[in-house]
Structure 1
């Protein structure tokens, strides 16, 4: 499939699924304001437990969201995880009130597989997936049999395959759904690329052992890598990440207050300064995200038929 055709299909399929977004855990506590002890029993909750992956999403909570919610009388607790499995299970089991770490294709697949009653709430700034140098330092150095590490969960692995297709290192089969692409969908491995599948958190360290590494943005940032070091980034806005909550909480006042904090002018200013180069929520109405959504809208019905 030609690159431009795949990208159009990718954007269209993304919108058709209402896309735009992302085990071991480390418990931390964001500085919290005391809740109102005089609140009547049964009143709207005033303690919110967030779950994020380690790094940028946790920093957003600690730096901006907790202080904003404290002004409204909320106590905020933060639990940081080191993988993509436990946060959704912890949410469904009531250990968390909200998590922030995943894109919608992953959420949709995970909740279906585990029969979880959770749903997306709002989008958050997200570092794009990128291909970073390992033993080789430029795209021009790619050689026959080059090794590339990639995330091993299905939705992120599909993203990695789309990137390799865009680079011209592999060719995906005509008509493949880029949201669910797998090794079986590789029509031709033009460079005989050896794809090394690893847990996403291990990808930054893998660069010492492979020629190139495809690394999730949050793990790149949390390991001290810079987005500007990427040799190639995915152009699509289909994987801007979402928060997730229990379906029963989707109309709660506390969630409305959290959503307002993430979409406030103060948070936007912080994100633009601290997380330059990220992709931002579509509701912010900024840049290419809006253009990508418009293009996808024009061809969404075609993608739905794939």
Structure 2
């Protein structure tokens, strides 16, 4: 009996030790995965050429390097590849788009990416081409505009506010299309182009609706605009893979973009931009922009 008891006790002890060994072996695997995520030290940014890339190079990269990160920047000249590159894992984060565009793009291409935080954004503006003032508009005037659906809708809303076209009642301004034009008051010839081509198009059209980042990267100034959209619906967002939404590295990136140092830099370097809602300045700036836009629209209507 004593022999049996000793044998049973030894077997039980062996099983207990084996179970503990399995738990110890399993623990490092789980914690190792967590540690790998926590220890991510290289962040690959994707931006369009111009202001968003400058923000990374001039402020965000140095701030993150102080925290031990290595930062790589990839700059694009279109609005398609940055989201595809993000979804395919070539980028960790991209910064170039507003939420309506992101929502449309990820739905169309079935991408598992999401918005993370807002960044300072140059507003869409109507710039002079062959004609130098709103009062110079004539019937049949040509206006170049971005050809992607969400930005084209913004251009139509601007033309509606100027009184150059009339949009149908009750339409969604975020999805407006040519089919929503009730009346082309000025018989505007809308020339649709890739956004990156709009600054150069000014030599060939009477007016050009240009995205802020491409206007700035081509040397244009916000003070040159004849009319700016008053809406804050198009302040741009950083986007990441959905799986990274709560990652430690992303929190560090967001902290850098919302730091007092970055705010001071952006307000000096990018004066006239629309700033993130988290900065608490959109309402006052929006009221000012709205008043200026209303005055410009009234002047344009009076000149018809």
Further displaced range: 42-51 or 88-97:
42-51
Counterpart Cα distance in 2 of 1:41 and 1:232: 49
Three-state SS of the structure 1 residue aligned to 2:103 is: helix
Are the aligned partners of 1:136 and 1:212 in contact in 2 as well (CA < 8 Å)? yes
Question: What is the TM-score of this pair, normalised by structure 2?
Answer: 0.82
Q: Is 1:196 aligned with 2:158? A: no
The reply to whether residue 123 of structure 1 matches residue 80 of structure 2 is: no
Distance in structure 1 (CA, Å) of the matches to 2:179 and 2:231: 23
Show structure 2 runs of 5+ residues with no match.
1-34, 288-304
Moved over 4 A (4+): 40-43, 289-292
1:290, distance to aligned residue in structure 2 (A) = 8.0
> 2:95 aligns to what SS in structure 1?
strand
Mapping for residues 85-164 of structure 1, pairs under 5 Å? 85-164=80-159
Write out aligned runs for 1:209-220 (5 A). 209-220=204-215
- Alignment length, in residue pairs? 253
Residue equivalent to 2:260? 265
Bigger-Rg structure (1/2): 2
Q: For 1:177, which of 153, 167, 172 is the aligned residue?
A: 172
* Corresponding residue number in structure 2 for 1:33: none
Q: 1:244 aligns with which of 239, 245, 270?
A: 239
Secondary structure, aligned partner of 1:100: strand
Question: How far, CA to CA, are the matches of 1:41 and 1:237 in structure 2?
Answer: 38
Report how far residue 288 of structure 1 moved: 2.5
| Aligned CA-pair RMSD | 1.2
Higher relative contact order (CA 8 A, sep 6+): 1
Aligned partners of 1:145, 1:290: CA distance in 2, in Å? 34
Distance 2:116 2:108 in 1: 20
Partner of 2:220: 225
Gaps of 5+ in 1: 1-39, 293-306
Give secondary structure in 1 for the equivalent of 2:106.
Answer: helix
Deviations along 1:225-261, whole A, 9 cap, x unmatched? Answer: 0000000000011100000000000000000000000
Q: Distance in 1 between matches of 2:286 and 2:119?
A: 18
